[in-house]
Structure formats: structure tokens, C-alpha cells
């Protein structure tokens, strides 16, 4: 717009509070993600279908009449293993979300040189990462611990008296384990998005991080007769955390064929996941710069 027209006016609207400015990045991140009809339909299925299946399972398990009709008396029970298995299924779906959404969160900003524009505003790198992280963390939460708590409330309301009091420890276990898994997936996705420009390559590397080191660790355990190789299997580390937090760690001692299985201790699993998450954020921090430094 030419200056001589005198038609330019500064922004006169309300300003976003300083503490919540990073949420602008989250809001626009969601708008970009849900601009795809394919993803929207896929996400709705991820959010609704497992929840509906879990709801029907709980209703049937608490209805002796229906159990007699389908001849399933004594086989359907709502216990800690039900919520553990449900979260494990949603954990795989969360990995799919991270592999799909994560590579597109930061890479476009770095490729198009938009990062200096973000950081030239009253927005720090911490707020930038937080705003981008919430895009993925909230989407994972909607399909993981939030519906799990709704299923817990449903069972507590229609189940046998005293069930909620006996299983009250499931609430912090569901929230803590889901947030730990979400933080790791988010850190991994953002780090790969910052270092790999091509989305397809970043998506492939996301799956490679889970399968390649796990195979190497399994071979090392088989040769050395130890559990140290489990520390390279991030999915198995999360399985260990789930079992210990849900109070069913004894289920980790046997494989499907009944043979003993070596497993990483719970403290080692938690520390490894936290260390891997921190390492991913360190890599991300090294890539996020407001300007490029050219050394001669």
C-alpha cells in the first residue's frame, strides 16, 4: 500500500495476553492439520471407535443378562488389564499421529525462513516449542487419557459398589503414563521435523527409531543374556512403565509361550525415556535459531 494514500492504520484490536501468546501457534497448527479432510475423518475414527468399543465392553461386562445371551459369563471383566490394554492400543495410534503430524510442525518454518519472524515478536524459543508441542500433545490426549478417564467414570457409575475405591490408583497411572508417552512422541517428532526437511523421510525415520534400535537390542540381549538391550526398545520401555504404574508388573515375567523374559527395571525404563526426550529437545534447541551464523 502506498504511503501517500494515507489509508494505513495500525492494529487497534485486542492484544493477546503475554502468557498465552504461544497458543496462537497451537490454534493455527490445528487449523492446518484439520484442513485435510482425510486426516479429519481418520482422527474422528481414532477418537470415537475405540471409545465406543470400550463403552460397549463395559456395558456388556456389567450386564449379566447380555452375558447370558452371548454365553460370556465370567470372561468379561473390567479390571486394570482392561485399561492397560486399551491404552496400549491407543499408544500405537498416538505413534501414527506423531508420524503424520509431527514432520509438518516445524520444518516449513525453517525451510521458508519464517523462524526469525516468529522470534522477532515477543515470543521466546521456549514459547515457540510449547505452542508447537501442544498441537500434538492435545490431539494425543483426546484419544488416550481423556477417554480412558471417561471409561473409568462410566465403570465407576454402573459397576459394582466399591469398584472405584479399589481402583482409584488407576487415575494417576492413566494420566502419568499417557503424558510421558505423549512427551516422548512430541519431542521425537519435533526434533525430526527440525532436522529433516522432507516429510516422507521424517515419517519413515519416526518408525525407524522404534524398530531399528529395538532389533539391535533384541540381538544383543540374545547374545549377552542380559536385559540392557531393552533400553533401545522405546515401545517396550513404555510397556514396562504401563505395567508398573498399573500394578500388574508380574505380567511382564512371561512371554506368550510361557518362557521367562528379561525386562528392564522400572526406574531404568523411566530414566531412559526421560533421557531420550531431553536429548530430542536438545537437538531441537540447536536447530531453532533466529539467524544463521556464517563462519568463514
Q: Helix or strand or coil: residue 254? A: strand
Average pLDDT estimate for 279-296: 74
Measured distance CA(151)–CA(159) in Å, rounded:
11
Tell me, yes or no, whether 268 lies in a domain. yes
Measured distance CA(191)–CA(186) in Å, rounded:
8
Tell me, yes or no, whether 66 lies in a domain. yes
Mean pLDDT of the chain: 85
* pLDDT at 247 > cutoff 50: yes
Tell me, yes or no, whether 292 lies in a domain. no
Tell me, yes or no, whether 205 lies in a domain. yes
* pLDDT at 274 > cutoff 50: yes
Higher pLDDT, 11 or 30: 30
Tell me, yes or no, whether 191 lies in a domain. yes
Q: What is the pLDDT of residue 7?
A: 61
* pLDDT at 235 > cutoff 60: yes
Number of domains forming the structure of the chain: 1
Tell me, yes or no, whether 11 lies in a domain. no
Residue 284 is placed in which grid cell?
A: 531441537
Tell me, yes or no, whether 4 lies in a domain. no
Whole-structure pTM value: 0.86
Q: State which H helix or E strand residue 81 sits in.
A: helix 80-101
Average pLDDT estimate for 275-292: 85
Range of the domain at 132: 19-287
Q: What is the pLDDT of residue 290?
A: 58
Higher pLDDT, 276 or 287: 276
Average pLDDT estimate for 65-74: 64
- What residue has cell string 501457534? 25
Tell me, yes or no, whether 12 lies in a domain. no
Lowest mean pLDDT among 140-154, 179-193, 261-275: 261-275
Amino acid at each position: 500500500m502506498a504511503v501517500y494514500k494515507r489509508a494505513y492504520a495500525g492494529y487497534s484490536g485486542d492484544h493477546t495476553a503475554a502468557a498465552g501468546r504461544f497458543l496462537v501457534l497451537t490454534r493455527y497448527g490445528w487449523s492446518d492439520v484439520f484442513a485435510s479432510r482425510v486426516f479429519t475423518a481418520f482422527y474422528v475414527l481414532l477418537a470415537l471407535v475405540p471409545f465406543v468399543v470400550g463403552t460397549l465392553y463395559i456395558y456388556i461386562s456389567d450386564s449379566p443378562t447380555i452375558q447370558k445371551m452371548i454365553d460370556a459369563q465370567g470372561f468379561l471383566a473390567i479390571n486394570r488389564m482392561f485399561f492397560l490394554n486399551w491404552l496400549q492400543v491407543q499408544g500405537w495410534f498416538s505413534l501414527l499421529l506423531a508420524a503424520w503430524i509431527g514432520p509438518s510442525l516445524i520444518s516449513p518454518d525453517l525451510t521458508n525462513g519464517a523462524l526469525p519472524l516468529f522470534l522477532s515478536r515477543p515470543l521466546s524459543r521456549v514459547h515457540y516449542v510449547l505452542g508447537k508441542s501442544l498441537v500434538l500433545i492435545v490431539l494425543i490426549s483426546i484419544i488416550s487419557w481423556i477417554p480412558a478417564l471417561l471409561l473409568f467414570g462410566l465403570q465407576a457409575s454402573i459397576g459394582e459398589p466399591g469398584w472405584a475405591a479399589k481402583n482409584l490408583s488407576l487415575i494417576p497411572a492413566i494420566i502419568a503414563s499417557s503424558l510421558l508417552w505423549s512427551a516422548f512422541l512430541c519431542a521425537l517428532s519435533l526434533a525430526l521435523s527440525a532436522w529433516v526437511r522432507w516429510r516422507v523421510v521424517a515419517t519413515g525415520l519416526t518408525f525407524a527409531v522404534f524398530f531399528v534400535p529395538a532389533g539391535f537390542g533384541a540381538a544383543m540381549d540374545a547374545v549377552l543374556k542380559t536385559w540392557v538391550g531393552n533400553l533401545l526398545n522405546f515401545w517396550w520401555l513404555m510397556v514396562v512403565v504401563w505395567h508398573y504404574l498399573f500394578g500388574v508388573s508380574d505380567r511382564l515375567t512371561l512371554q506368550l509361550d510361557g518362557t521367562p523374559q528379561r525386562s528392564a527395571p522400572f526406574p531404568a525404563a523411566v530414566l531412559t525415556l526421560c533421557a531420550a526426550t531431553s536429548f530430542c529437545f536438545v537437538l531441537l534447541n540447536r536447530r531453532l535459531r533466529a539467524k544463521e551464523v556464517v563462519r568463514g
